[in-house]
Amino acid sequence: MMRTAHGLVQTPVFMPVGTLATVKAMTPEELKELGAGIILSNIYHLYLRPGVEVVSALGGLHQFMNWSGGILTDSGGYQIFSLASLRKITEEGVHFRSHLDGSSHFLTPEKVVELQLAMGADIMVCLDECPGYPAPEEEVHRAADLTLRWAKRCLEARRDKAAPLFAVVQGGMLPELRREQAQAFRELNFDGYCLGGLSVGEDKDTMLAMVEATTPELPENKPRYLMGVGTPEDLVEAVARGVDMFDCVLPTRNGRNGMAFTAAGKVVVKNAVYARDPRPLEENCGCYTCRHYSRAYLRHLYLSREILCYRLLTLHNLYYYLHLMADIRQAVAAGRFAAFRREFYDKREGGNTRG
């Protein structure tokens, strides 16, 4: 359980991604009805457009987007990493050009904290450097060391000590370095800890090995957040390894691309097999989409490029993810997570199991 300025958040939790102060295709009211208590926004994107001055003048991020729940703001470290040709990293911070209009900007650890405070974030994230994959070991070590120094500066820059601040553990695919980073951050006593630099091209087993190396070194009484991950299987496996928080664009992005998540696996509605299929996406699913529409109708909408299809599939996917996490929480509380994990895989097509 986490306490934020906008209410309690039960963990393990999945945060729908609202990068630009909106979860694509969903209204805030719909998100609440689906069970979302906290979402993720991105300070890099909001800083560039519409700008912190606009959001702050209009009452902060919650009022700006009419969202009464919690908001975690990512610092933008990953986005800056992905714009390698447009940025230059120094000890002081990051010089970069906007991907929108080419304008020049300079973000420091201190400014990133200042921006998140001005936006009214419930949980802030330190600026970090995310190394590429694969990357030379010396580059991974350099990025991890810089991330640690920047995190210390973020702590010093936090004027409001009551505002939660999460550090980002880096270390590439080097388990010993990740353990060292986690230990160093733990001693600095942050409010929570992000596992960054994963799901950047490595295989699933490697990603899970890095999670397994890192989480035991972080305090059990503070949130451990795996950034940008992932599939339903990723969520189950990461919870088994001690992760408390997740975010990922898959439910919304895949919904817009015609794919639904179900307990039995994926349903790709454009497939011809669904042309006359009267069934919902998932039998016994309580979401609005499954209660009202058939696979055949959703396929028709998708092939016709109707906006309603993107909304209906996104709504179902978020319902599935949020209810999966609710089931995980219930299983953990009842002391039957191991049984839940087996049942989860038994329901997948082919009964593919882990652990």
Is residue 177 a part of any domain in this protein?
yes
H/E element holding 148?
Answer: helix 137-157
Is residue 178 a part of any domain in this protein?
yes
Q: Which residues span the domain enclosing 179?
A: 8-248
Domains of the chain: total: 2
Q: Beta strands 192-195 and 38-42: pairing type?
A: unpaired
| pLDDT at residue 350, rounded to an integer | 60
Please give the Cα distance from 344 to 355 (Å, whole number).
12
Is residue 53 a part of any domain in this protein?
yes
Return the closest-CA partner of residue 317 out of 287, 347, 291.
287
203 a catalytic residue: no
Return the closest-CA partner of residue 311 out of 279, 286, 278, 287.
287
Mark whether 239 and 258 lie in a shared domain.
no
Instruction: For residue 216, say if its preceding peptide bond is cis, omega within 30 degrees of 0.
Output: no
Is residue 354 a part of any domain in this protein?
no
| pLDDT at residue 317, rounded to an integer | 98
* CA neighbours closer than 13 Å in the CB half-sphere of residue 208: 16
Domain boundary among 248, 274, 298: 248
Mark whether 227 and 306 lie in a shared domain.
no
Mark whether 151 and 22 lie in a shared domain.
yes
| 3-state class (DSSP) for residue 334 | coil
In eight-state DSSP terms, residue 91 is S
Mark whether 157 and 269 lie in a shared domain.
no
**Domain CATH code at residue 127:** 3.20.20.105
| pLDDT at residue 352, rounded to an integer | 47
Active-site residue (options: 74, 122, 234, 244) = 74
In eight-state DSSP terms, residue 17 is B
Mark whether 194 and 304 lie in a shared domain.
no
Is residue 137 a part of any domain in this protein?
yes
pLDDT along the chain (355 residues), means of 10: 93 97 98 98 95 96 98 86 81 92 94 96 96 94 97 94 94 98 97 96 97 98 97 98 98 98 97 98 97 98 98 98 98 98 90 44
Active-site residue (options: 128, 234, 244, 247) = 247
Domain boundary among 222, 248, 274: 248
Mark whether 230 and 277 lie in a shared domain.
no
Domain boundary among 210, 231, 248: 248
Mark whether 213 and 339 lie in a shared domain.
no
Mark whether 64 and 154 lie in a shared domain.
yes
Mark whether 336 and 234 lie in a shared domain.
no
Mark whether 48 and 108 lie in a shared domain.
yes
Is residue 37 a part of any domain in this protein?
yes
160 a catalytic residue: no
Is residue 222 a part of any domain in this protein?
yes
Report the greatest alpha carbon distance in the chain: 61
At how many degrees (to 10) do helices 337-347 and 307-333 cross?
A: 150
Mark whether 231 and 288 lie in a shared domain.
no
Is residue 159 a part of any domain in this protein?
yes
| 3-state class (DSSP) for residue 179 | helix
The dihedral sign for the CA sequence 275, 276, 280, 284: negative
Mark whether 268 and 211 lie in a shared domain.
no
The dihedral sign for the CA sequence 239, 149, 201, 116: positive
Helix and strand totals (H; E) in the chain? 15, 15
| pLDDT at residue 55, rounded to an integer | 97
Rounded to two decimals, what is the model's pTM?
0.96
Give the other-Cβ count within 10 Å of 180's Cβ: 17
